[in-house]
Amino acid sequence: MRDAAPLMLIGILSDSHGRVEMTRRAVAALLDGGAEMLIHLGDFETEDVIDELVGTPARIVFGNCDDEVDLKRHARAMDITVDHPCGRIDAEGKSICFTHGHLGRHMTEALEAEVDYLLHGHTHRVRDERRGPTRILNPGALFRASRYTAMLLNPATDEVTVLEIPHDTAGP
């Protein structure tokens, strides 16, 4: 009897807003939780935040607080996949779309396409709801939130885990 292949876990984070240490803690928590790929949903604000993703399989989109031109150049130089303004991957036989904002055409198109998962940031609030066959997820934020959070998604089992990221008031 063969051992079953390990299931892919995807780490999701968003809205770092220049907070390097919080991003570092979130990345560590996601990797410690078994994430094999990271998706950051934007609002990096600085290259230093993007640098926290270096060395991990990562995909990113930019947010409304990001200088897309400079950050895109930096991310690509660091070998990070830029999918801006909207990305799509298939994992464990499931379709996953991701963007920064919670309104607009990318959200509408993904819902109309009936993707399995639609990921977004921007609101700084954890979200987990279904619209038809699509599960909409927002991992929360790493700045300006009552709790600083990230998410683990197992597309094969449809399991989502919200991770609370410890923080202090020390700043970036």
Residue 71 sits in a domain of what CATH number? 3.60.21.10
Q: Using alpha carbons only, what angle is made at residue 73 by residues 70 and 79, rounded to the nearest 5 degrees?
A: 140
Flag whether 172 is in a domain.
no
Query: What is the share, in percent, of the chain residues with pLDDT greater than 70?
Result: 94
Q: Is residue 171 part of a domain?
A: no
**Digit-coded pLDDT (tens) for 24-82:** 999 999 999 999 999 999 999 999 999 999 999 999 999 999 998 999 999 999 999 99
How many domains are there within the chain? 1
In angstroms, the Cα distances linking 123 to 7, 41, 120 are 29, 11, 9
- Calculate the alpha carbon distances from 29 to 35, 52, 73, 102 in Å: 9, 13, 27, 25
Residue 108's domain comprises: 10-164
pLDDT in tens, 157-167: 999 999 999 98
Residues 6+ apart with CB under 8 A from 5: none
